[in-house]
Structure 1
Amino acid sequence: MEKKLNDTQEYILSVLNSVIKATNEMNVKCYMQGGTMLGAIRHGGFIPWDDDVDLGIMRNEYEIFLKNVKKYLPGNLELRTYWDESDHHYYFARIVDKRYLIKRMGSAEIRYENVWVDIFPLDGMPSNIFALKVHQFRLALARLMYHLSCIKKVNIKRPGRSAIEKAVISIALKFPIDRALDTKKCLDKVDVLLKKYPVEESKWIINFMGQTSFKYTEMIEKSIYGKDTWYAFENIKLLGPEKYDQYLKSLYGDYMTPPKDADKNAHVSELVKQEEK
């Protein structure tokens, strides 16, 4: 039986097609990340209960992508970054469809965001074990400060959060910590740290701003990406790590067994028309 996509997935797939067309024209390689790679292998596309697409680009090409992608996008799509004038508070970039909004109800305050595809930079990490531990600590601290700066926008209903995470979020929401921190300045610190170790000189590749990257499950040996390998994602072909089994086991363990709460959408969201806001 043919899989039926929901409306949000259909709109996201349309955005994805435009993104891939743009990256192909720019000769920029875009790799599936996290749940998108999992969806391609386990479901042949979207995870049925998830409305999300995550792509990653190696840092050097990521900067080229940010600089040039606007000229390749149709009029309904727009690039969002944390340094522009929008309400985009994420470190990674997004390509959004301005015609549609998603109502997000997983955080302390209800937010409206345009239908999107997330684009993450993929960065290197130090090979020396001592330097690695120091860099990991500095990154974790910078990420914590960033999340505290926009704590009311953090998805507190995301499944799988540890007791420590829940406690930190609960405490932070009770105090006006975010008023003392500037989100853009916090992300500038993350930016400087992530650019310190070039992918070309590193044994590792990390998607640091991925959903579970603070646990460093998304720090992958560069050899796992291997040679260019294409996978079916719904009606298109996308690049992904050649050694997908090692990649997915690193992130999810037994990745072919769906979670028990599979019917829950971690984004706690619903599609609304732009004029319905």
Structure 2
Amino acid sequence: MYLSRSQQEKLKQIQLRIAREFDRVCSENDIEYFIIAGTLLGAVRHKGFIPWDDDLDVGMTRENFDRFAEIAASRLDSNFVFQTWGASGGLGLPYAKLRMKNTKFVERASKKSSGPQGVYIDIFPFDNVPHSQILQRVQSGAAYVLKRLIVTKYGYDMTTMSGAPKKLIYGLITALASVIPLKHINHWLDREIRRYNATPTSRMTAFGGSYGYYKEAIQSSWSRELERITFGDLKLPAFKRYDDYLTSLYGNYMVPPPVESRVSRHDLIELIL
């Protein structure tokens, strides 16, 4: 779905409004968070959104995420709705979205979802990663399989997977998803991603992130060393070590990608602003 320049700008203004509300609730309740991924890149390189992107992503430690989830319903303005995986329905990965009511932002992959479909920002909890590389492989593998089962149960479209091996995997996952109750899969995944949170570790990762277990990982200390930086007309918290983080994700991040790569990742089929 093609978006005009005015639609893109209005979409981003709504996302900024959502971010402002999220920041208000967090600030008033001493809950820390930090901007991540393309949002942090946009703040550093463009002082706001990446011009061709329309994502706004934030991260939180698991402790802060759980605190926000607990108070969201009572502290958020009535124009917003907090959607978590496994609880409110329609969200098939272990993170959350804060959505604006009376809007629609329907993506092809989630068109069958029964949950809220308004314009949103993404909120990613970060959970501890074990020190042992063997345990990391076990955890990442288990989480990968369980996440694929969940998105299938929620009706996300995985038929776009190409190649015989991937199609075989999709077939096996679909078969398993048809016989295992969703509540069991949600419980198994939640237990797996929280497994090491009671043990101090040097790294943590966002299990719901699109870059995968290893690339999403950050130094735990970064989440405690924050500073506010400009993002549009807001000042949002970011890692003081943002250079290390962005370099690990994007390499030479101050150099924009080729023109042909400057496209939105969202495959929209319906937009109401």
Shorter-chain TM range is: 0.7 to 0.9
Counterpart for residue 271 of structure 2 = 272
The Cα offsets for residues 120-143 of structure 1, whole Å up to 9 and x where unpaired, read as: 111111113332332223223323
Counterpart for residue 38 of structure 1 = 41
Gap change, CA 1:104 and 1:110, over 3 Å in 2: farther
Counterpart for residue 102 of structure 1 = 105
What are the equivalent positions in structure 2 for 1:220-235 lying under 5 Å apart? Answer: 220-225=218-223, 227-235=225-233
RMSD of aligned residue pairs (Cα, Å) = 3.0
Q: Which runs of 5+ in 1 are unaligned?
A: none
Q: Displacement of 1:271 after TM fit?
A: 5.9
Counterpart for residue 168 of structure 1 = 166
What are the equivalent positions in structure 2 for 1:113-152 lying under 5 Å apart? Answer: 113-150=117-154, 152=156
Distance in structure 1 (CA, Å) of the matches to 2:194 and 2:110: 32
- Report the TM-score, using the length of structure 2 for normalisation: 0.84
Q: Which of 57, 62, 79 does residue 65 from structure 2 map onto?
A: 62
2:194 maps to a residue whose letter is K
Partner SS, residue 80 of structure 1:
strand
- Report the TM-score, using the length of structure 1 for normalisation: 0.82
Gap change, CA 1:134 and 1:19, over 3 Å in 2: same
Identity percentage of aligned residues: 23
Gap change, CA 1:174 and 1:268, over 3 Å in 2: farther
Distance in structure 2 (CA, Å) of the matches to 1:21 and 1:39: 21
How many residues align structurally? 264
Counterpart for residue 25 of structure 2 = 22
Gap change, CA 1:171 and 1:77, over 3 Å in 2: same
1:146 maps to a residue whose letter is I
Gap change, CA 1:270 and 1:75, over 3 Å in 2: same
Distance in structure 1 (CA, Å) of the matches to 2:16 and 2:243: 24
Q: Does the Cα contact within 8 Å between 1:152 and 1:173 map onto a contact in 2? A: no
Distance in structure 1 (CA, Å) of the matches to 2:127 and 2:211: 16
What are the equivalent positions in structure 2 for 1:233-252 lying under 5 Å apart? Answer: 233-252=231-250
Distance in structure 1 (CA, Å) of the matches to 2:169 and 2:145: 17
Q: Which runs of 5+ in 2 are unaligned?
A: none
Counterpart for residue 189 of structure 1 = 188
Partner SS, residue 123 of structure 1:
strand
